[in-house]
Structure 1
Amino acid sequence: MLSFFIRLIKKRTFNSHLREIADYVDVGKSHLLMGFKLNLNRPIDKKKYVKIGDDTILECTITFESPNGEVIIGNNTFIGTSTIISRSQVVIEDNVFIAWGCYLYDHDSHSIDYKERENDILQQLSDLRAGRNFIKNKNWDVVNSRPIKICSNAWIGMHCIILKGVTIGEGAIVGAGSVVTKNVPAWTIVGGNPARVLKEIPEHLRKKSDHDKLLYTL
């Protein structure tokens, strides 16, 4: 009986959390686990910041540090306790595995100009001392931002960092602890900091396109 009430309390808490973010998420028949979090700074009313397909399991944190950004997650994808930070766009296609401890970051956060970084600190202090979110008035115009794309059937190992402008090709595998700063070719295994191609995935382990399947059956 006690376990029943514990499950009931957890369910109510979870549903309450979903209600709070419902206006900003478009989700299919998927599972947002208790660890799933959505952080919004000055959100645009009713904007769908996150779009999720079917049969996907999420336990990640998705953060939008400005009113901009978009995260699109496809079908049959799993993301563990990792973090996605978007001001541009992050697209994660179908049948993708992303382990725990990863960061996908589609912008630089600060300018390469030290004077602008000094201004960031001064603005953060001003906002904090006024009781506001410390990046409420951050100047995003000086921050570089480019979309990230994780193509279908990719696998991102634990504690990886995927930086702005990167595309992870179809079926690619990113080894644990890698820092990815450049595009990853499809059906390759990469690793290291910065990540580099270690080897190609054998042909017989690659997903066949419809055209390839037709040729294979002839």
Structure 2
Amino acid sequence: MFSADERSNRLRTGILDDFVGGLLNDVERARYLGLPETTRIRERTKIVSPENLVMGEHCWIGENTVLDASGGLEIGDHTSIGLNCLVFTHSSWLANMMLENHPGSDLIERKPVRIGKGCFIGGNSVIMMGVTIGDCATVNPLSVVTKDVPAYSLVSGNPARVFQRYDEDYLRAEAERVRAENAALRAEAQARGEAPVWGAPARRRDAQ
């Protein structure tokens, strides 16, 4: 039933990691995979060639995301990748076209992907091989990123293109706005006798 060749044994290790990972919480799963202690990996995330993945501190990876690190993948500090995202660092399209889609084909192409620090990759997005995403960039949900993304920019669409650029002053002002709104919401919740929570409590329907 079980094959004993090198490829099968290598794949079986990944299958075992997926199985064990399904029994762990997001912090335990990251620790099991040898990632930084501050990283959180949600359930059903798949990492291809984890030995080629370099991940920074305080990263968050959403459910059902596939991180293909076979061609090299770097993810900077404080970056989040949403649910159902696909990050590719290899392509077999030419092997398919040439009818050479077999294991070990020399028509499989690999190029590294680099995602900077402080990035937000929205859910259901696709990052194609060879792409570099600059620091503090945002990729809107449902985007397909086929070329490099400048730092401090927002991209969206298929193929993704730049819709907005921002600087540190803009980000600082937005952070102050959100902190003030969350503080007001927490104060309202405490006034109602509710236990304080991190972040912002959900808005009450009668307050909207």
Q: Which TM-score bucket, shorter chain as reference?
A: 0.5 to 0.7
- 5+ long unaligned stretches in structure 1: 1-16, 22-29, 39-49, 124-137, 208-218
Offset at 1:51?
Answer: 5.3
Aligned: 1:155 with 2:138: no
CA pair 168-111 structure 1, distance change in 2 beyond 3 A: same
Choose which of 198, 211, 215 in structure 1 pairs with 2:163. 198
- 5+ long unaligned stretches in structure 2: 1-12, 18-25, 173-208
Q: Report 1 or 2 for greater relative contact order, CA contacts < 8 Å, sequence distance ≥ 6.
A: 1
Does the CA contact (< 8 Å) of 1:51 and 1:71 recur in 2? Answer: no
1:76 match? 58
Aligned: 1:86 with 2:69: yes
Choose which of 32, 40, 44 in structure 2 pairs with 1:57. 40
The separation in 1 between residues aligned to 2:28 and 2:62, in whole angstroms, is 11
**Which whole-Å deviations, capped at 9, do the CAs of 1:9-64 have from their partners, x for residues lacking one?**
xxxxxxxx99x65xxxxxxxx8144xx7x9xxxxxxxxxxx652231101221123
The amino acid across from 1:71 in the alignment is: L
| CA RMSD of superposed structures (Å) | 2.7
The separation in 1 between residues aligned to 2:95 and 2:28, in whole angstroms, is 36
Greater shift in the superposed pair: 164-173 or 69-78: 69-78
Does the CA contact (< 8 Å) of 1:173 and 1:189 recur in 2? Answer: yes
Offset at 1:203?
Answer: 3.5
**Which whole-Å deviations, capped at 9, do the CAs of 1:144-188 have from their partners, x for residues lacking one?**
110001100000000000011101100000000000010100000
The amino acid across from 1:103 in the alignment is: L
Offset at 1:99?
Answer: 0.7
1:216 match? none
Choose which of 132, 140, 154 in structure 2 pairs with 1:175. 140
Choose which of 89, 92, 97 in structure 2 pairs with 1:109. 92
Does the CA contact (< 8 Å) of 1:69 and 1:88 recur in 2? Answer: no
**Which whole-Å deviations, capped at 9, do the CAs of 1:87-120 have from their partners, x for residues lacking one?**
21011110001110100010113326722xx232
The separation in 2 between residues aligned to 1:147 and 1:32, in whole angstroms, is 27
Does the CA contact (< 8 Å) of 2:92 and 2:107 recur in 1? Answer: no
Instruction: Kindly tell me the number of residue pairs found equivalent between the two proteins.
Output: 147
Q: TM-score with structure 2 length normalisation?
A: 0.63
Aligned: 1:143 with 2:108: yes
